[in-house]
Amino acid sequence: MTIEAGAVVVLKSGGMAMTVVSADDDAAECVWCGEEGELFRETIPTVALMIAVEKDEDEEEDEEEDEESKDNGDEDDHDDDEDGDHRSSSKKKAA
């Protein structure tokens, strides 16, 4: 696990999500907003941090495809019929 600038991290013991501003092998400089909107900045040993959210490539591709389909006006392939059946049209034909 490499902590680098731009990563979102949390303390291993819990707490607020923080954004890494800069990091080396021993410490990371992090910023975060407090509950009342105040901005905090602190250097924290990397041994005390873990990545808060780690996306794999498949999740990132899925999100990009979802955003593209929303931009193009595409919607799910669901048809509503009179009895409120929400199955896709291909499933209706098979049923």
DSSP assignment of 15-79 equals ---EEEEEE-SSEEEEEEE-TTS-EEEEEEEGGGEEES----HHHHHHHHHHHHHHHTT---SB-
**Domain assignment present for 29:** yes
**Domain assignment present for 91:** no
Predicted pLDDT of residue 2: 86
**Domain assignment present for 82:** no
Predicted pLDDT of residue 53: 78
**Domain assignment present for 20:** yes
**Domain assignment present for 76:** no
Confidence class of residue 90 from pLDDT cuts 50, 70 and 90? very low
Predicted pLDDT of residue 1: 64
Per the structure, how many domains does the chain have? Answer: 1
The more confident residue out of 93 and 59 is 59
For residue range 8-43, list pLDDT tens digits in order: 999 999 999 999 999 999 999 999 999 999 999 999
**Domain assignment present for 93:** no
Give the domain range for residue 1.
1-71
| CATH number of the domain bearing residue 61 | 2.30.30
Q: What is the pTM (predicted TM-score) of this model?
A: 0.56
For residue range 60-85, list pLDDT tens digits in order: 566 667 777 666 665 555 555 555 55
